[in-house]
């Protein structure tokens, strides 16, 4: 599918503008001056430009291959922190590339992109050696969240245990939250909700993302549970202070962003 055919909430003009404003909190690495390297193997020029621009604006170093032959060569000869691979490519297809990479004992996390979204398509991608599978069209914010999760799983000892968004701070080990050095007391679910929002600071977080990652629901229970907890969280991290940092993005979700 061409990028130009994708709906506005995925690869459309409005979605691109909104999504590219999203920022992702990258896992810490030994040298903070060295951005994480991502290889994008995508033959659709528009889709590739969209991905490259968004990833670079989010702090990644990106290499691009426009076909399977070049992509396989880079994957086997260079060192990357993650790879984003389209399934349908000229030359070796995405499945073949990842299979050959795994046969070469290269453990780099792989996120498949594909217009093929049936269960058997997803299963074949994972069996080929992929670590995650995202169906086109997709929201760029979701791709960033999935990429971050892959990098975090690949580097479990480097996960940040101290989060900071503006004047809001969270110590995961002490289970302590402060804003402007004032203690904020949260219930366990509120703490987990805030942690997820802080790990995706500056990024639009959808209701689906919250249901799956905070409540571990893989369906929408059609309740106002999210609204209730967001409201309670606002009462504790926003209302006592001069500026609000927890925003509602109408029709999309929520975003935690430090005050300007």
Q: Would you give per-residue pLDDT tens digits along the chain (260 residues)?
A: 433 333 333 333 333 333 333 333 333 333 334 578 999 999 999 999 999 999 988 888 999 999 999 999 999 999 899 999 999 999 899 999 999 999 999 999 999 999 888 889 899 999 999 999 999 888 898 898 899 888 888 765 555 678 999 999 998 878 899 999 999 999 999 999 999 999 899 889 998 899 988 988 877 778 889 999 999 999 999 999 999 999 999 988 999 998 76
Spell out the domain ranges in the chain: 26-153, 162-256
Domains 26-153 and 162-256 share a fold: no
- The CATH topology of domain 162-256 is Arc Repressor Mutant, subunit A (1.10.10)
The total number of residues written for the chain in this structure: 260
What is the H or E stretch that residue 254 is in? strand 253-256
- CATH number of the domain located at residue range(s) 26-153 in this protein: 3.40.50.2300
Find where tokens 């073949």 sit: 96
Cβ(59)–Cβ(144) below 8 Å: no
């Amino acid at each position: 599918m061409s990028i130009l055919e994708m709906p506005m909430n995925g690869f459309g003009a409005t979605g691109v503008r909104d999504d590219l404003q999203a920022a992702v909190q990258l896992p810490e690495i030994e040298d903070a001056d060295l951005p994480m390297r991502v290889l994008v193997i995508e033959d659709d020029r528009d889709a590739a430009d969209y991905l490259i621009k968004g990833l670079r604006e989010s702090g990644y170093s990106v290499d691009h291959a426009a076909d399977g032959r070049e992509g396989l060569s880079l994957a086997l000869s260079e060192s990357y922190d993650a790879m984003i691979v389209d399934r349908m490519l000229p030359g070796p297809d995405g499945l073949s590339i990842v299979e050959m990479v795994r046969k070469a004992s290269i453990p780099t996390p792989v996120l498949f992109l594909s217009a093929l979204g049936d269960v058997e398509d997803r299963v074949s991608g994972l069996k080929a050696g992929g670590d995650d599978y995202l169906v086109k069209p997709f929201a760029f914010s979701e791709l960033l969240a999935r990429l971050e999760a892959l990098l975090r799983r690949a580097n479990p000892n480097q996960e940040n245990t101290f989060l900071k968004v503006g004047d809001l701070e969270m110590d995961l080990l002490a289970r302590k939250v402060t804003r402007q050095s004032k203690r904020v007391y949260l219930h366990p679910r509120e703490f987990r909700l805030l942690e997820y929002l802080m790990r995706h600071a500056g990024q639009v977080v959808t209701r689906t993302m919250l249901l799956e990652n905070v409540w571990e629901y893989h369906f929408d229970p059609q309740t106002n549970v999210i609204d209730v907890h967001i409201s309670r969280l606002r009462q504790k991290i926003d209302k006592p202070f001069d500026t609000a940092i927890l925003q509602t993005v109408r029709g999309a979700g929520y975003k935690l962003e430090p005050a300007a």
